[in-house]
């Protein structure tokens, strides 16, 4: 099973859609990964793959996109 998690990282969506800081937006992704991981740990026989997508990647500061993506990888850690 592939679980696709995505959230928008772009400056415009951070400001106008979510009214959240970079850290708050990153936490949306990390909270999602933690929840998926928690569910997976309850059923470890599941063949689970996580696909994380940084929505609006090309409209986002590259260093911030990489920061979020790398944080997701670190939290997933499987």
| Cα–Cα distance, 6 to 24 (Å, whole number) | 15
pTM: predicted TM-score of the whole model, two decimal places: 0.89
In tens digits, the chain (78 residues) has pLDDT values of 888 999 999 999 999 999 999 999 999 999 999 999 998 888 888 888 889 999 998 899 999 999 999 999 999 986
Percent of the chain with pLDDT over 90: 74
pLDDT digits (tens, 9 = 90+) for 52-72: 999 998 899 999 999 999 999
| Cα–Cα distance, 47 to 68 (Å, whole number) | 25
Longest dimension (CA), the chain: 41
Q: Is 9 exposed, middle or buried (0-12, 13-18, 19+ CB in 10 A)?
A: buried
Q: What is the pLDDT of residue 75?
A: 96
Domain ranges of the chain: 2-76
């Amino acid at each position: 099973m592939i679980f696709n998690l995505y959230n928008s990282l772009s400056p415009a969506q951070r400001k106008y859609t979510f009214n959240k800081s970079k850290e708050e937006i990153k936490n949306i992704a990390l909270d999602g990964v933690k929840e998926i991981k928690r569910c997976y740990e309850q059923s470890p026989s599941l063949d689970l793959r996580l696909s994380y997508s940084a929505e609006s990647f090309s409209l986002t500061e590259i260093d911030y996109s990489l920061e979020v993506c790398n944080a997701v990888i670190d939290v997933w850690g499987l």
